[in-house]
Structure 1
């Protein structure tokens, strides 16, 4: 898949490998848990007018890299938009991070267990 998630004591690490690195122009994201304000699992739809800043975008398909929509900065890395985890962030480089994972609902629960505001 080209993406893996590691849970550290104070941050979530999303690592990209293979072609996923080239498409998204990033090897990893380190996101402190206290920057995560909301987590959802399942479907995501990028608005058609979102501006691709750097990365790859195939209509109705693969998205990777940095996008801008209504002043919000997104980092996307997915092929199947129905198998993603969406992180709403505050005080981080991106406002939203959307990443395809094999088990979105399980990853969401694992993230929620680590968020200081929900512990």
Structure 2
């Protein structure tokens, strides 16, 4: 996969590689756990009204910066049924949709770490 989630103590990092890095004009996105308002595993449907800023939207693969209903999204997925959806506050993106081999586990990991950091 072109985007990997690397968990740290106070943040997680999206390491972006390959053509996704070229198309999105990014190699890393840092997300502090304190920015995470909500996280859930599920599915996602890209509305036809979405505006692509940078990235790819072809043949089932979606990656990059999109604007939907006035909100900034970062997307990275092939399989829209195996994603983690994050609601963020105080970050350049309002939402992130990331594919994972085990979306439930990734959502639980981010949720636990976000809860721990919001209590401090």
Q: What TM-score do the two structures reach when normalised by structure 1?
A: 0.90
Q: Deviations over 1:64-85 (max 9, x none)?
A: 1111111100011111111111
Question: 5+ residue gaps in structure 2?
Answer: none
CA distances 1:35-92 after superposition (whole Å, capped 9, x unpaired): 0000011201121101111111116x11111111111000111111111111100110
Q: How many residues align?
A: 118
**1:13-28 correspondence to structure 2 within 5 Å:** 13-28=13-28
**CA RMSD across the alignment:** 1.6
Kept in 2, the 8 Å contact 1:24–1:77? The answer is no
Q: Contact 1:41 / 1:86 at 8 angstroms: preserved in 2?
A: yes
Q: State the alpha-carbon separation in 2 of the partners of residues 47 and 83 from structure 1.
A: 17
- Specify the SS of the correspondent of 1:111: helix
The answer as to whether partners of 1:3 and 1:101 remain within 8 angstroms in 2 is no
Deviations 1:13-41 (A, max 9, x none): 11112222223332111000010000011
Q: Distance in 1 between matches of 2:45 and 2:87?
A: 14
Q: Could you tell me how far apart the structure 1 residues matched to 2:9 and 2:66 are?
A: 29
Q: Which residue of 1 aligns with 2:104?
A: 105
The answer to which structure has the higher helix fraction is 2
2:51 alignment partner in structure 1: 51
2:79 matched to 1:80? yes
Unaligned residue ranges in structure 1 (runs of 5+): none
The runs of 4+ residues in structure 1 deviating greater than 4 Å are none
